Structure formats: structure tokens, C-alpha cells
Amino acid sequence: MSEITFNKQGQMVSRDTIDGDIATLNLGPTHPATHGIFQNVLKVDGERIIEAEQTVGYIHRAFEKLAERRPFNQITPITDRLNYCSSPINNIGWHLTVEKLAGIEVPKKVDYMRVIIMELARIADHLVCNSVIGVDTGALTGFTYMFQEREKIYELFEEVCGARLTTNIGRIGGFERDFSPVFSAKLNKFLEEFIKNFDEFDKLLTRNRIFMDRVIGAGPISPERALAYSFAGPNLRAAGVDYDVRVMNPYCSYEDFDFIVPIGKDGDTYDRYVVRQEEIRQSVSIIKQALAKMPSGLHHADVPDFYMPPKEEVYRSMESLIYHFKIVMGETAIPKGEVYFAVEGGNGELGYYLVSDGGRTPYRLHFRRPCFIYYQAYPEMIKNSVLSDAILTMSSMNVIAGELDA
Amino acid sequence: MDYALILEKLILIVVILAVTLVIALYLTFGERKIAAYFQDRLGPNRVGPLGLLQPFADGGKLLFKEEIIPKTAEKWLFIIGPATAMVVATITSAVIPWGTSIEIFGRNVSLQVADVDIGVLYVMGIVSIGVYGIMIGGWASNNKYSLYGAIRASAQMISYELSMGLALIAVVMMSGTLSLREMVEQQHGLNWNIWYQPLGFLLFFVCALAECNRAPFDLAECETELIGGYHAEYSSMKLGFYLFSEYINMFVSSAVMASVYLGGYNFPGMDAIANPTVLSLLQVAVMFAKIFFFVFVFMWIRWTLPRFRYDQLMRLGWKSLIPLAIINMVVTGAVMLLNQ
């Protein structure tokens, strides 16, 4: 006979011998709970997962290779399609990387504008993740509440750049145009209403007994293992490691803002959920601070090599015409060099490793995609847990197929 | 042979069956509207006035959908599964007393299809057959997710039936009868069983949720984990039967709950109404009001709470509900003994 033991959360943790039949179960690639196209081949004994093997590459679009044939400003739309829940962070991260390579200094105002946009994107990203954890536990209602808020954030993006999901927001050197009065009005209204609605969602789930029983102890990871896998972002912080790119390696004047980096303890689904909940609140506070301290000035740096001149100028002055032509044709001058730049993405350290040989396109571009790293740890995290926990672990790590496969 | 009685009962059966089906049809609509209300949406509002024809559009769609029977499925069992679920769901309503009786063409027509002596046992028996529909369907689909759903459903329903039965025993001990009609008669006016059996009622209610496979006990379908569970491979009206039987079950178990604990068709102040026809009609209305109240609570819970994990569900069933039900039974017995 086999021995079944339970840990303090009541999960089945080990069984000395395995008798009976072990079944192979395909979790994905089209399983609704994977929220994207990726596959897990599970070896299951009843509901317990004995072994898991993950498959990547179902929507691999060769972004890194594509980038080698594209001028720098045309790579921004590619980055949209990485973590499509928070495209603006990807866009701005890429702009910052190119600015670092080209040595461009941007005005303080651009930094603050970027912070506002990036924090909005982080809120949207975390809202998707946390409300989907709710959906996967069977609580669909909170999801609809939070998607209304996410919709408002998308309207804000639309106001800035005209697009909603794949934003292609901003330019190398700043923004295409200053924030409009409509944007400011909508943003203020959003900030006023959001916390109230968010509290409603919080009340619905965070201290719900059934929800807590479901997520506490589901898919835990120790800080040592998380660091060994090079986790970053909310998932690492949930495991109890105090690391946030915004604090450790500030960019975009993040050092000007006062915010708390929430840290978890057990690295389980509940900690990941709670860390994200708190980060949403902190993001709101950062946006409020940025709005209050918004410096005056220009919404872009003076970099004619990268920043498109206004169309009226193109028709009137020769320099503008030349720069316009060069930017559109992708013939901008860029120094030789090798840079790594990382931003705190929606779900971790989103890094860009860029090698330039001085040509019109990158020689090599590598995206450090946090989802890819999380997904490597997935089999280890769900081993010996049950099917329901495996699905919660997946959604709480916020593995996004677009970023996973790039 | 009393042909008139047979005719009377036949008409009653047809009426109750039709009413049950129409109500189940509109419960799907109600569920969608209520969910929409909870979730700050509009819900179906395009078919007919206020979307009221939506259930018929849904039913029609399901009827005309292509019927797919997977090649690897066990064909006959695949068909028997949903049929069992549907038949079992509809025949439970036979013992429910909808009202006392009504005078039609000089005949005193009882508003209950069959006043059997063992009404409560009949309900329990039929309900436990219900699991076969799910089990057979899930197994015959030859799909691992369906099988998971079927196994979960059968384990869950069998364990929750136990505490349901134990909760009912306390009521049976109190009323000294197994006939639903007599049980309801004893709860005349406001003398409802819920006042004497609050814990029993709570246990029965939780078990009813589990028996109907409703959230937070909907592990058998569990769209996020098992992609629909036991009915993952079903299409067309067979799927419709499964979904439909869930709503009928909900309706019927609400009716049983109303009859056993909330006094069925009894309401305070019923003695003041002299006209027997008016009284009967009012009784039927009260009965339905109680049923719809329970149905609403069912839906309210579904759109508010997350669902349990399988082992938590079993632990709740075996380690909390069954001991509580036994304690409830023993305490009831002790109190009865002391009162003698």
C-alpha cells in the first residue's frame, strides 16, 4: 500500500510508492486555463501530478531575428507583442535602451510622463493577473469589475497614442505629443474612482475563506530556488527577496518617488496575489506623485536623429526634410556598442541586450523575458500538487504566451 | 378503475412537467440576467422584448447544432448518459406537494402527482440515481478530462448524499412521517421546521448545492480546470440535456427544501382566507415564491464565491458536515426524549 501525507495546508505532498496506472495528461496547448498557447505534458496519478514537462514555442515569431533586419525605431511595434498585457512598459524599455546606447539625455518631464504611462501599464498587467487568479478559482465576478478598470486604462493609452493593446507608445527621445487636457481629465477621474472599485475587488477575494484555502500553499517556491532560476519581479518578491529594478537600478527618475516594495514570505500563489495587490496601490501612489511634481518643459529630447520633426517643418525647412527622410528610411546614425538595459516590467525584469555594429539595424538583440524564466520553474513548482493547484500556479505567475515565446 | 383519477393525474403530470421545463428554461435566462446584474453588465437583451425569448433561441440553437459523437466514445452509453440525467431530474418533482387541493368541475384535485408514503426516501433515491447520468456520460466520452469530471462528481455526490440523508433523518424523527404531504401539513401557518432544525437546514442547503453541482461545489464541470468536465465531449441537445437537468435539479431541490424546511405552501395568516380556491392559488404562489428565493440564493452564491479544491471538498463533506449532521440528529433525539 502507498503512504499519503499532507502538509499543513492539507495538500498531498508525497507518496512513498506509486502503484496503479499513471496517466499522461496534456494540459494545453488549447486548454482554456493556460491563457495562451503553451503545453504541459503531465504525468498524473489520479489528480496528483508526478511529473510535468513544459513545451515552449507554439507562438514563436522570431522577434530577435526580425529585429536584426529593422531600423531601431521600427522595433518598438515588435516589443508591443511581448507581454501584451503591459505593452507600454516594453515600448518605453526599448526606447530607454536605444537612448542608453546613443547617449541621449531626455528632459525630466519625459521621465515623469513615462513613469505615469508605465505605472498605468503595471496596474493593467497586475489587474489581469489577479482577476484571472479569481477566475481560475471560480470567482468570475471580480474579474468583470477589474476589467472595467482596465478598460479605463486602455482608454487613457488610446488618448496618448491612439492604440489600446499594442500601443507603440512614445518615441525614442520622448513622446510624440504632450499629454492632452482630455488625458489629464480622464486620468484624474480614473485615479479618483479606481481605489474605491479596487477595494471592492479586494474585499471580494483577498480575505475570502474559500479563496485563501485555495491559494495559500499552492505552487510555492523558495527564495533560493527562485534566485537560482533568476526570477525577478512580483514572483521573486513574493518568495521574499527584496529586489525591484525601479529601486535597485533606478531609471526614468524613479528615485524621485516614494513607494513601498511589497515582499511576500512563502512564494506561494497567495503571496504572489497579495504582492501584486499591494503593487497596484503603490503604482497609484506613484502616478499621483508624478502628476503633482510634473515639471514643465518639452515632451521630447532634442535629438533630430531619432525624433521625427513636425510635419509642417518637413515641408518648410531642409534639415527637417532630411531628418524626416532618414528616420523613415531607417538611416539614422548610431554608435557602435553593447548595452544591457532593464526595466521593471509587468511581471519581472524585462531586459534588452543590444549589440550594435554602427549599422542601420541592431547586430543582435536579445530580450530577457521574465515569463520564459518563470515557465522553466513551472514543473518544479507543480510537482506533487494537484491539478487545480497547477492551474492556479500558472495564472498567478502571469505567464504570457507572447512574452514566453517571443 | 377510476378513469377520471387516471386522467386527472395524467393532466397533472403533463402540467407539472411542462411547468418544470419552462421554469428550467427561464432559469437559464434568469441565471444570465442575475449574473449580469452582479457583474455590472446588461445580460441577454436582444431576442424578444427584454430578451425574454432568449431561452427559446438557445434551445433552438442547441437542437439544430450538429451532433458529434466521438469515434472513440462508447456510443450507447454516450447517449444514455444525458438521457438518464434528464429523466431523473424531471421525475423527482412527482412527490412535491405544490398546494393542498383545488376544485375543478366538481372534483377535488390534489395538487401533488403522487402522495407516496415514502416521499422523502423517493427523493433521496431518485437524486442518487442522478449521479449515474454524469458518471456514464463522463466515462463514455473516453476523454481524460471528462473522466476526471465524472469521478469528481460521483465521489462528491455520494459523500454529500450521506449528510443530506442524515440531516433529513432529524426532520423525519420530529415529524414522524416520510410523506412530504404530511410533513408540509404539520408545518401549518408559521410552524416551519426551520425554526426547530436550523442546523439541519443549513446542512441540507449546503448538500443541495453540492448535489446540484453548483458553485462552490461545481468541481465536476469546473470550466477552468476540466473544460466542462463530464460534458466536455457533448454537443447539440445532449449537451443541452445536461445543462438543462442542472437547472431542473436546482428547481426541484429548492422545492424539496421549501417543502421540508420552509413549510411548503404554508404561510402565516392562511387561516383567515375563507375561499378555498383563492387559498389554493395563494398557496401555489407562496410555494413558488419560496422556490424562487432559493434559486436566487443558489445563483447569488455561484456568482460570488470561488470553488473548493477537490480534497477540501471531500474534507468538508466527511469531516465537517457528516459529524455535524450526526450531532444534529442525536440532539434532536435527546430533546424529543426529554419533551416526552
Tens-digit pLDDT profile for residues B42-71: 888 888 888 888 888 888 888 898 888 888
* Partner-chain residue, chosen from A12, A144, A210, that has the shortest CB–CB distance to B40: A144
Tell me the average pLDDT across B119-137. 85
Residue of B31, B225, B313 to mutate for A, most A C-beta atoms under 10 A: B225
Q: Is residue B32 over pLDDT 70?
A: yes
- Tell me: the pLDDT tens digits for A38-72? 888 888 887 888 888 888 888 888 999 999 988 88
- Tell me: the pLDDT tens digits for B303-329? 888 888 888 888 888 898 899 999 998
Residue B76 binned pLDDT confidence (cut-offs 50, 70, 90): confident
- Tell me: the pLDDT tens digits for A219-246? 889 999 999 999 888 999 999 899 989 8
Q: A135-139, A316-320, B179-183, B239-243 — which one is most confidently predicted on average?
A: A316-320
Residue A9 binned pLDDT confidence (cut-offs 50, 70, 90): low
Strand order in the sheet with A348-357: A336-345, A348-357, A364-368
Percent of chain B surpassing pLDDT 90: 3
- Tell me: the pLDDT tens digits for A325-352? 988 888 888 889 999 999 998 888 999 9
Tell me the average pLDDT across B101-121. 75
Nearest alpha carbon to residue A137 among A210, A219, A30: A210
ipTM over 0.90: no
Q: Is residue A154 over pLDDT 50?
A: yes
Contact A32 B40 (CB under 8 A): no
Q: For residue A1, what pLDDT is reported?
A: 38
Residues of chain B found within 8 Å of residue A210, distances taken between Cβ atoms: 216, 305-308
Nearest alpha carbon to residue A100 among A353, A384, A282, A399: A353
Q: For residue A122, what pLDDT is reported?
A: 92
Q: Is residue A12 over pLDDT 70?
A: no
Q: For residue A88, what pLDDT is reported?
A: 92
> CB distance from B41 to chain A under 8 Å?
yes
Burial grade of A60 (CB within 10 A; 0-12, 13-18, 19 or more) = exposed
Residue B253 binned pLDDT confidence (cut-offs 50, 70, 90): confident
> CB distance from B304 to chain A under 8 Å?
yes
Q: For residue B264, what pLDDT is reported?
A: 80
> CB distance from B107 to chain A under 8 Å?
no
Burial grade of A158 (CB within 10 A; 0-12, 13-18, 19 or more) = middle
Residue of A30, A387, A395 to mutate for B, most B C-beta atoms under 10 A: A387
Q: For residue B286, what pLDDT is reported?
A: 87
- Tell me: the pLDDT tens digits for B145-192? 888 888 888 888 888 888 888 888 888 888 888 888 888 888 877 778
| CA distance to partner chain A, nearest, from residue B143 (Å) | 10
Residue B1 binned pLDDT confidence (cut-offs 50, 70, 90): low
> Which is more confidently placed, A91 or A35?
A91
Lookup: cell for A328: 523613415
Between CA B158 and CA B223 the distance in angstroms is: 22
Q: Is residue A153 over pLDDT 90?
A: yes
Contact A391 B224 (CB under 8 A): yes
Between CA A125 and CA A127 the distance in angstroms is: 5
| CA distance to partner chain B, nearest, from residue A80 (Å) | 27
Helix residue spans in A39-180 (DSSP H): 63-67, 76-80, 87-102, 108-137, 141-161
Tell me the average pLDDT across A16-32. 70
Nearest alpha carbon to residue A122 among A144, A142, A81, A92: A92
How many contacts, defined by CB atoms under 8 Å, are there between A and B? 74
Name the residue range of residue B290's domain. 62-339
Tell me the average pLDDT across B238-242. 87
* Residue A291 main-chain phi, psi, to 5 deg: -65, -40
Q: What architecture is domain A63-405?
A: Orthogonal Bundle (1.10)
Residue B45 domain-assigned (yes or no): no
Residue A15 binned pLDDT confidence (cut-offs 50, 70, 90): very low
* Domain count along chain B: 1
Between CA B145 and CA B143 the distance in angstroms is: 6
Nearest alpha carbon to residue A309 among A289, A332, A337: A332
Nearest alpha carbon to residue A363 among A329, A332, A338: A338
| CA distance to partner chain B, nearest, from residue A155 (Å) | 19
Average per-residue pLDDT in chain B? 84
Buried b (16+ CB within 10 A) or exposed e, B134-150: bbbbbbbbbbebbbbbb
Lowest mean pLDDT segment, chosen from A98-112, B101-115, B134-148, B297-311: B101-115
Between CA A284 and CA A281 the distance in angstroms is: 5
Residue B85 domain-assigned (yes or no): yes
- Tell me: the pLDDT tens digits for A163-185? 888 888 888 888 888 889 999 99
- For residue A151, which amino acid is it? E
Which residues of chain B form beta strands (DSSP E)? 101-104, 107-110
A52 three-class SS: strand
Between CA A74 and CA A397 the distance in angstroms is: 30
Residues of chain B found within 8 Å of residue A12, distances taken between Cβ atoms: 311
Residue B146 domain-assigned (yes or no): yes
Nearest alpha carbon to residue A367 among A100, A78, A170: A78
For residue A368, what are the β-bridge partners? A351
Nearest alpha carbon to residue B157 among B214, B100, B111: B214
Task: Give pTM, 2 decimals.
Answer: 0.87
A260 three-class SS: coil
Q: For residue B43, what pLDDT is reported?
A: 86
Q: Is residue A17 over pLDDT 60?
A: no
Percent of chain A surpassing pLDDT 70: 95
Nearest alpha carbon to residue A84 among A180, A136, A146, A150: A150
Q: For residue B200, what pLDDT is reported?
A: 87
User: Residue A376 in contact with residue B214, Cβ under 8 Å?
Assistant: no
Residue A10 binned pLDDT confidence (cut-offs 50, 70, 90): low
Percent of chain A surpassing pLDDT 90: 34
Q: For residue A289, what pLDDT is reported?
A: 92
- Size (chain A), residues: 406
Residue A13 binned pLDDT confidence (cut-offs 50, 70, 90): very low
* Residue A336 main-chain phi, psi, to 5 deg: -70, 150
Q: Where are the domains of chain A?
A: 4-55, 63-405
Tell me the average pLDDT across A118-141. 90
Contact B312 A134 (CB under 8 A): no
Q: Is residue B271 over pLDDT 80?
A: no
Q: For residue A2, what pLDDT is reported?
A: 44
Maximum Cα–Cα distance across chain B: 65
Read off the DSSP letter of residue B111: S
Percent of chain B surpassing pLDDT 70: 98
